[in-house]
Amino acid sequence: MYQVILYLHVAGALGFFLFHGATASANFGLKREGGATQAELLIRTRELGSAGAFVSMMVMLISGIVLGFMGRWWGDVWIWVSIALILIIGAIMGGSGRNYFDRVSYAVDPDKYKAPKDKKDDPEPPTEEDLAVELAKGRPVMLTVTGIAALALFLWLMMFKPF
């Protein structure tokens, strides 16, 4: 049974990375492509992968918690370091990556997407210049490098269970 749940955990991780690739590629594309039409298209491309990424992340998390109980790993430090890492990487990705997409989405189509907090009371709809400013704020390389470093750490903790 443990092996079956582990299979689900690894499959969930592979699925998550596959779907997350849509977000990463859209992030790189947005940085290079100016203009509302292109940005709107890349935002939609990112949305294609979002639901799949969420579902596979849930599979990964739930199976990970179950494995923690089945393998009696909760007394080990590595599992808590992994959880702390998930929270840190989630905060970085959410704070920088998702915030970026939210701001660009609003600048592209203010009727469809929610306004960011600092724009809520702004009576003027966003202009082309606002979109250009938001697009320039993208940091796809930083996010990718951070994500890959975190992945390597996670994998090391999971596979070698060093402490």
Partner 1 sequence: MYDAILFLHVASALGYFLVHGAFASVSFALNRETEPRRIEALESAMDRAGPWSLGSLLTIVASGIALMVMGNWWRDGWTWLSLLILIVIGVVMVLFGGVHLGLRLGTEEMPAEGERWHRTVQWGLRLGNRIPMFLAVTGLTALGLILWLMMFKPF
Q: Show contacts with partner 1 in window 16-35 (CB under 8 A).
A: 17-22, 24-26, 28-29, 32-33
CA distance 110 to 106: 5
Query: Cβ closer to partner 1: 90 or 122?
Result: 90
The dihedral through the CA atoms of 104, 55, 150, 18 has a sign that is negative
* Angle at the Cα of 135 from the Cα atoms of 108 and 38, rounded to 5 degrees: 55
Q: Which of 2, 10, 88, 90 binds partner 1 (CB under 8 A)?
A: 10
Is 146 a binding residue for partner 1 by CB under 8 A? The answer is: no
Q: Show contacts with partner 1 in window 40-59 (CB under 8 A).
A: 41-42, 44-46, 48-49
Q: Burial letters for 96-107: b for 16+ Cβ neighbours within 10 Å, e otherwise?
A: ebeebbbbbbbb
Under 8 Å between Cβ of 48 and 22? yes
Binding site for partner 1 (CB under 8 A): 3, 6-7, 10-11, 13-15, 17-22, 24-26, 28-29, 32-33, 37-38, 41-42, 44-46, 48-49, 148, 151-152, 155-156, 159-160
